Amino acid sequence: MALTRTNAHTKSLIEILNSSFDREKGVLVFQPVTTNPISGNVERETTIQGNGNLTLTYDGSNQLTTIEKTIEGVTYTKTLTWDSGVLVAVSAWEEV
C-alpha cells in the first residue's frame, strides 16, 4: 500500500517527534506498524495478521488440552499435558 503525501498539512520531523513525547514519563512514544499482507491495511504490529482465530479444547476435568490457531489459512496446534491437575508440559506450535 503506497502512502500519499498531501500538501494540506506537512509536519517536520521535529514536530512529529515533539508530538510523540510523553511529558509525564519523559520518553518518546512510538507504535510500530506493519502492512497486513491480506487486507493491505496498515495495522499495529501486535495485531494478528489476516484476522487469525483460536480454538480451545478442554478435557472432562475442564483442563485446557489443546490450543489451535489459524492464520492466513494455516492451522497450528499446541498441546498441554496435565498430571493430577498440574500442568507438566506445553508443546511447541506444530503446523497441522
Distance set, CA 5 to CA 30, 33, 35 (Å): 20, 18, 17
Q: Label residue 10 by pLDDT band (50, 70, 90).
A: confident
Residues 44 and 59 in one domain: no
Residues 68 and 89 in one domain: yes
Residues 58 and 45 in one domain: no
Asked whether residue 74 is domain-assigned, the answer is yes
Residues 58 and 34 in one domain: no
Residues 36 and 60 in one domain: no
**Grid cell digits, residue 82:** 496435565
Residues 33 and 66 in one domain: no
pLDDT in tens, 81-95: 999 989 999 999 999
Decide if 66 contacts 77 (C-beta within 8 A): yes
The structure's pTM equals 0.48
- Residue 51 has a pLDDT of 62
Asked whether residue 75 is domain-assigned, the answer is yes
* Measured distance CA(51)–CA(70) in Å, rounded: 9
Residues 58 and 73 in one domain: yes
pLDDT in tens, 24-68: 777 767 767 777 776 778 777 665 555 678 899 999 888 999 999
Residues 92 and 62 in one domain: yes
> What domain range includes position 85?
52-96
